[in-house]
Amino acid sequence: MIAKTKEEIENLRTSGRMLAEVLKEVALLVKPGVTTATLDLAAQAGIESRGCKSAFFGYTPEGAPHPYPATLCVTVNDEVVHGIPSESRLLKEGDLVMLDLGLSYNGYFTDAAITVCVRTCDEAAKRLMEATRKALDAGIKEARAGNRIGDIGAAIEAVAKEYGYGLAEDLGGHAIGKKPHEKPFIANIGPKGSGEKIVEGMVLALEPIFTEGNGKIILDSDEWTYRTEDGSRSVEFEKTILVTKDTAEILTVL
């Protein structure tokens, strides 16, 4: 969406603040032995207690065969996106866990994701997380009025190259606001100068996804979970931002 009024912007800010609060609460529960379903229940409770609604539960993104069956996506190690929480999935020490959450407040949607380690973080995981965070920051810097959507992807791609990580090229960010996913799609690759022009008021969810391997992904038999073809681990960080005059305001500040 393109937020024009003060009221729309205030609703989006509240949405983003509440989302960040819930995501932080959920992240605090991550420890060995916890099931991913427990995290989902906590996300659900956190959203409801704030008078918000889940963006993902019952939502069918374009191209998906069924509505998403949970509130939270919990994506572990070689899984890349859209991991479905389950009572039989116990987290273990050293797992690399991506938590992806979306909600609406008063009809305004925001979307964010973080990756955390279960208790201990090995050096390779730390580097992968550092690179993905850096890519998100680089993408946000390019998200300003007058630039193009491809400038965001080019900045993200450059960080992947610098570190030597794979990029899941078919996955990426999106505009958001009145719906969980709006056009345009925001690829995590360039070229610079390509795509739609960025204008003040655009609300965007940027989500770089890096893998330790070549970035090729396959879809699981649950028809939701994508995992890396080579079994390497994957990390994502996502933020919803509002494009202002010459910078972007982060709506989901953790």
Q: Provide the binding-site residues for Co ion, judged by CB under 5 A.
A: 111, 205
Q: How far is the CB of 246 from ligand MF3 (least distance, A)?
A: 26
Cα–Cα distance for residue pair 132/61, rounded to 1 Å: 24
Q: Under DSSP, is residue 90 helix (H, G, I), strand (E, B) or coil?
A: strand
CA nearest to 75, candidates 235, 252, 239, 254:
235
Which residue lies nearest Co ion, judged by its C-beta?
111
Q: How far is the CB of 81 from Co ion (least distance, A)?
A: 9
DSSP conformation letters of 131-151: HHHHHHHHHHHH-STTSBHHH
Q: How far is the CB of 53 from Co ion (least distance, A)?
A: 16
Q: Which is nearer to ligand MF3, 124 or 218 (CB)?
A: 218
Q: 68 touches which of ligand MF3, Co ion, none (CB within 5 to 8 A by kind)?
A: ligand MF3
The residue type at 210 = F
Q: Which is nearer to ligand MF3, 67 or 146 (CB)?
A: 67
Cα–Cα distance for residue pair 144/156, rounded to 1 Å: 15
What residue ranges bind ligand MF3 (CB under 6 A)?
A: 56, 59, 61, 68, 73, 82, 100, 111, 113, 174, 207, 238
Q: Under DSSP, is residue 241 helix (H, G, I), strand (E, B) or coil?
A: strand
Q: Which is nearer to ligand MF3, 114 or 159 (CB)?
A: 114
Within its chain, how far is the Cα of 184 from the centroid? Answer: 16
Q: Which is nearer to ligand MF3, 42 or 114 (CB)?
A: 114
